[in-house]
Amino acid sequence: MKKDDIGTNAGLVWRTLFYKGNKATFNELLQDTGLNAIDLSSAIGWLAREDKVEFFYENNEEFIDVYRDSYF
């Protein structure tokens, strides 16, 4: 895997979350993006490092969502 591929996959994951308009689990993202687990994990790591996604738990399940900053 090349670094450029990770960035491309990160864009795919971000767009998937953004246009879905809702949070997603890791397994949902696997299905929605068509990426394998390693590529998806790398992409999520890239986005997390750039503060583009946030992680949270609901009902003992972990979710990922686009980080939406609000100034008001």
User: 57 φ, ψ to 5°?
Assistant: -115, 140
**Can you tell me the distance from the alpha carbon of 28 to that of 36, in angstroms, rounded to the nearest whole number?**
12
State pTM to two decimals.
Answer: 0.89
Q: What is the pLDDT of residues 12-61, one digit of tens each?
A: 999 999 998 889 999 999 999 999 999 999 999 999 999 999 999 999 99
